[in-house]
Structure 1
Amino acid sequence: MEITERPDECICVLGGPEEMSRRAAETFLEAAERNIRGKGRFTVALSGGKTPEMFYELLGAEYADKIEWSKVHVFWGDERCVPPESPESNYNMAARALLSKIKIPDKNIHRIKGEDEPTSAAIAYEEELRAHFGLKAGEPPAFDLVLLGLGKDGHTLSIFPATKTGFEEEERLVIDTYVEKKKARRVTMTLKTVNSASIALFLVSGKEKAGILREVLRGTEEACPARMVRPGKLIWLVDKDAASRL
């Protein structure tokens, strides 16, 4: 089932996580082919969490030979402040599920240095974005695709409802932040960076997400970070459990 709220927003309700992952893989493939054909490269920001893992595994298996990985550049939307070998690392999950299965040059993998001091890591990652995209002062990067998840409190990336800097530091592309409910620091791209992307793709599954998904799509709470995501095109891929209250 497909519900379109606006011309620039598509909501697709799918049968379950496997069907959702396959649709996500097709969306990834189409975007990669279009951008590689048009400008010679495809730049994507990956997300962490449990939801995209099946999608990454599918890309690394059935799509390993369908995409010109040598022309794909991989970034991350956020990272926990842990070493890359930590099971808590967003990079680690993507490396295990996808990157270790495909022929992508090391120079095309741009991870956030979660093992470094958080403020320094955020500044360094912003500088890497500026260098990769050739940005002038004040310009945001133009990602071809940004992958996002949705937390039960409405957070996306590491921009939580109480993370004021995610909303207010409009000139920053990447920030470090303290997440009170997690008692931990994170490094995350800002809404300015996400909203400058051509496509942002949300993956949402499970009945525990049904309430917040309804609030994000139908509600009026502007303090909810996920409601503030407004890229060129916004795609929601949700399973039937997550969509049960729509």
Structure 2
Amino acid sequence: MRRGLLIYDGRDELAMGAAAFFIDSCRNAISEKGLFTVVLSGGNTPIGLYKLLASGDFGGTVDWRAVHLFWGDERSVPPESAESNFNTVRRSLISKIDIPPGNIHRIKGELPPEEAASAYEKSIRDFFGLSSGELPRFDLVLLGMGADGHTLSIFPGTEAACNQEKLAAANYVDKLKAWRITLTLRAITDAVMTLFLVSGREKAEALKEVLVDGEGKYPASAVTGRKLLWLVDKEAALLMGE
């Protein structure tokens, strides 16, 4: 696995860097096989990226007809909810680009959690034509990391952190008193490229634990892939020199 770290001055610069990786990955995939599959991240950090991709400067260079959008995780809420990760992307990106509805593969958070996870896993298996035991090969996976070291909706100590069989799982997060539907770490193992987007001083301790101390106690530490890059701002990287 190839892993690297890029540090940006601020969140805007991080978004610009992520957009460049997105565009390059997209062009390469479409040139090679005619389509591009990307797993989108929730949270606040990637919103700047989505807005850039919706703009003429960046989005105008993307053939959205060949792009297929997937989600890394979702809250157990309907798609119109302000808490929905899908709705965040819809407002900041999807509503502003010309992408076929059939290219949008959202997690149906309005369903009961276990049913939503099963339906999402089936949609991924059907899209990639996977046999039992095979893994999807997403072209690009975008991930975030919380101050507690969680990624996707895989929180420390939760059942999904240990799931090595499914591609998608319903995960009850006791600290939030809420259900989440999430891709498992197994589902993203075979991705062509994985980008962590991390910003904010509150992430500094967890980032140091993951990248410097390497104790592996956080779910973010367990992410593997063909090529893994961390794109972080200076605030998040505050403790990296210690």
TM range (shorter): over 0.9
Identify which of 18, 23, 29 aligns with 2:23. Answer: 29
Note the C-alpha offset of 1:194.
1.7
C-alpha distance in structure 2 between counterparts of 1:133 and 1:21, whole Å: 29
Residues 42-53 of structure 1 aligned to structure 2 (within 5 Å): 42-53=36-47
Identify which of 121, 126, 129 aligns with 1:126. Answer: 121
The one-letter amino acid of 1:70's match is R
Note the C-alpha offset of 1:220.
3.3
Q: Deviations over 1:44-78 (max 9, x none)?
A: 00010111111100110132210010000000000
Q: Is 1:90–2:85 an aligned residue pair? A: yes
Note the C-alpha offset of 1:105.
0.3
Q: Is 1:242–2:236 an aligned residue pair? A: yes
Aligned to 1:3: none
Q: Is 1:227–2:221 an aligned residue pair? A: yes
Gaps of 5+ in 1: 1-6
Quote the RMSD (CA, aligned, Å): 0.9
Q: Is 1:78–2:101 an aligned residue pair? A: no
- The count of corresponding residues between Structure 1 and Structure 2 is 239
C-alpha distance in structure 2 between counterparts of 1:141 and 1:244, whole Å: 35
SS in structure 2 of the partner of residue 63 of structure 1: helix
Residues 150-229 of structure 1 aligned to structure 2 (within 5 Å): 150-167=145-162, 169-229=163-223
Gaps of 5+ in 2: none
Aligned to 1:140: 135
Q: Is the 8 A contact 2:38 2:138 kept in 1?
A: yes
C-alpha distance in structure 1 between counterparts of 2:49 and 2:214, whole Å: 31
What is the TM-score when the length of structure 2 is the normalising length?
0.97
Q: Is the 8 A contact 2:145 2:196 kept in 1?
A: yes
Note the C-alpha offset of 1:223.
2.8
C-alpha distance in structure 1 between counterparts of 2:213 and 2:174, whole Å: 25
Note the C-alpha offset of 1:95.
0.5
Q: Is the 8 A contact 1:64 1:101 kept in 2?
A: no
C-alpha distance in structure 1 between counterparts of 2:217 and 2:209, whole Å: 11
C-alpha distance in structure 1 between counterparts of 2:114 and 2:67, whole Å: 27
Note the C-alpha offset of 1:166.
2.8
Aligned to 2:111: 116
C-alpha distance in structure 2 between counterparts of 1:221 and 1:195, whole Å: 20
Q: Which runs of 4+ in 1 moved over 6 A?
A: none
Percent of aligned pairs sharing the same letter: 51
